[in-house]
Amino acid sequence: EKGEFRHFMLKEIYEQPRVMQAVLEGRIASGHLLEQAFGSDAGAVFDRVKQVQIVACGTSYHAGLVAKYWIEELVGIPCMVEVASEFRYRPVVLPEDTLLLTLSQSGETADTLAALREVKARVLATLAICNVPGSSLVRESDLSLMTNAGPEIGVASTKAFTSQLVALMLTTIALGRRHGLSADKETALVAALEQLPELFQQLLALDGPIEAMSAHFAEKRHALFLGRNVLYPVAMEGALKLKEISYIHAEAYPAGELKHGPLALVDKEMPVIAVAPRNGMLDKLKANLQEVRARGGELFVFAGCEESIQSQEGVHVIHLPALPPVLDPIAFTLPLQLLSYHVAVLKGTDVDQPRNLAKSVTVE
Ligand code: M6R
C-alpha cells in the first residue's frame, strides 16, 4: 500500500534508509563481512575467483557498472560487465576461474536468465544478487545474496538499485580479502556502509530543494547527464530514470567525452545535470562545466562538498551531506531519483506505470 505517499515510487525512495539497514542485517558483525551470507560454499568459491563477469539489464546493469570500478580498484582483478541481451547472443570468451555475477531485482528477466543458462557450465561458479527469494535466477545459481529491499512496485527501480550497490560492495569485500584487502581497510568499508541508514535520512531532507529544481525541466525535451569515474554509471542511471518516467530524452556521458561530440548539442534548451564528488576529478569536471556554461547551457550540479562549487547565474547547486567517498555512487543516486520523480509529477505522467513498460521483462 502507498500509505501517505502519492506514488509507489516516492514511497520506495523514502523506504531507502530502512532498506539500507535490511541489506546489511546479518551480513556484517564487529566490523567484518560474514561471507556465509552468500551460501555455505561461498568461501571455497571466492578463494578461486580470478575474474568477474557481470551480466544484467537496465538499472541492474548500471549497478554492475559501478561494481566494475569497485572490484578493479579494491580487489585488483578484472571485471567485465555486459547487458544480458548482448552477452547471451555472442560467443563470449570466459577465462578460467570466472565468477558469473548476475544482477536482477525480479530474478525473472528473460535475457539475464538466458545468459546464466548459456554459460553456466563454462564458469567457476554463478552468483545471483537478487531481490526476490525463490526466483528462477536464485534457484538456478550456485550462490546468492538477497538485497532484502522488499517488494518494488514502481516500474522505475529505486530501492532495488541502491540495495544492489550495497550487496555489490559486500561482494567486493569478500573477493578483496583474497587479494590483499587488509582487515583495517575492510573495517573502514564496513563502518562506511553502517552509516548508510542515517545518511539516507539526511539525503531525503534534500527533497524540497530538489522539487524546486524540477520546475526547470518541465518544459524541456532533452537533458544531458555528466559524471566521471564511479559516478558515470550513476549519471547513466539518472538519465534512465528521467526518460522512463518523464519521457524527456536524456543521455549520460562520461564528462571527459563532452568535447568529443555531445557539446555540439548544448544550448540554452539543453539542461546539463552533473554529479560532482570531492575527489581529484572535481577540477576536471569543473572545466567541463565551464564549457557548458559558455554555450548557454543551464547547469544542475549535485556536489559532494560545500567548498567545491557554489550556485551562480545559470548554475544550480545542491550540496550533499558529508559522506565517506566509497559511498558516493550509493548516495548520489537518491537525489537523481527524486529529481526524475518530481519532473514526472510536474509533467503529469503515470509515474508508477510508465507507458510501454512492464515491471518485469520476462519475454525478450
Ligand atoms: O528485474 P531486473 O532487475 O532484472 O530488471 C531489469 C530491468 O528491466 C529494469 O532494471 C528496468 O530497466 C527498470 N524499469 C529500470 O527502472
For 157-160, the CB contacts below 8 A with 24+ separation are 157/58, 157/59, 157/60, 157/105, 158/9, 158/12, 158/13, 158/16, 158/241, 158/337, 159/12, 159/13, 159/15, 159/16, 159/19, 160/59, 160/60, 160/105, 160/131
Provide the pLDDT for residue 188: 97
**Over 90: is that where the pLDDT of 183 sits?**
yes
**Over 70: is that where the pLDDT of 82 sits?**
yes
CA of 101 from ligand 1 middle (Å) equals 16
CA of 198 from ligand 1 middle (Å) equals 27
pLDDT tens digit sequence for 1-14: 889 999 999 999 99
pLDDT interval class at 20 (50, 70, 90)? very high
3-state class (DSSP) for residue 244: helix
Does ligand 1 come within 6 angstroms of the Cβ of 83?
Answer: no
Pocket mutation for ligand 1, best pick of 61, 113, 157 (most atoms within 8 Å of C-beta)? 157
Cα 5 to Cα 14, 15, 197, 203, 347, distances in angstroms: 9, 11, 20, 18, 18
Does ligand 1 come within 6 angstroms of the Cβ of 163?
Answer: no
Place of cell 559558455: 294
Pocket mutation for ligand 1, best pick of 12, 13, 55, 60 (most atoms within 8 Å of C-beta)? 60
Does ligand 1 come within 6 angstroms of the Cβ of 236?
Answer: no
CA atoms of 3 and 11, how far apart (whole Å) = 8
pLDDT interval class at 175 (50, 70, 90)? very high
Q: Whose CA is nearest to atom 11 of ligand 1?
A: 58
Tell me 221's DSSP state: S
CA of 323 from ligand 1 middle (Å) equals 28
Does ligand 1 come within 6 angstroms of the Cβ of 157?
Answer: yes
Does ligand 1 come within 6 angstroms of the Cβ of 147?
Answer: no
CA of 87 from ligand 1 middle (Å) equals 16
Provide ipTM, 2 decimals.
0.98
How much is the average pLDDT of 40-67? 97
pLDDT tens digit sequence for 104-149: 999 999 999 999 999 999 999 999 999 999 999 999 999 999 999 9
Query: Which atom belonging to ligand 1 lies closest to the Cα atom of 357?
Result: 14
Report which of residues 81 and 284 the model is more confident about. Answer: 81
Residue 319 belongs to what H/E stretch? strand 315-319
pLDDT tens digit sequence for 226-235: 999 999 999 9
Pocket mutation for ligand 1, best pick of 361, 362, 364 (most atoms within 8 Å of C-beta)? 361
Which range has the worst mean pLDDT, 19-33, 74-88, 294-308? Answer: 294-308
Active site residues: 359
Provide the pLDDT for residue 279: 62
| Contact of 238 with 225, CB cutoff 8 Å | yes
Mean pLDDT, all residues of the chain:
94
Place of cell 538519465: 239
How much is the average pLDDT of 186-190? 97
CA atoms of 355 and 73, how far apart (whole Å) = 39
Does ligand 1 come within 6 angstroms of the Cβ of 104?
Answer: yes
**Which cell is 64 given?**
554492475
pLDDT tens digit sequence for 271-311: 999 998 876 666 777 787 788 888 888 999 999 876 678 88
Provide the pLDDT for residue 1: 85
Query: Which atom belonging to ligand 1 lies closest to the Cα atom of 109?
Result: 4
Q: Give the whole-number percent of the chain exceeding pLDDT 90.
A: 84
Provide the pLDDT for residue 286: 78
Does ligand 1 come within 6 angstroms of the Cβ of 135?
Answer: no
How many residues are recorded in the chain? 364
CA of 158 from ligand 1 middle (Å) equals 10
**Over 70: is that where the pLDDT of 251 sits?**
yes
pLDDT tens digit sequence for 144-171: 999 999 999 999 999 999 999 999 999 9
How much is the average pLDDT of 38-67? 97
Does ligand 1 come within 6 angstroms of the Cβ of 152?
Answer: no
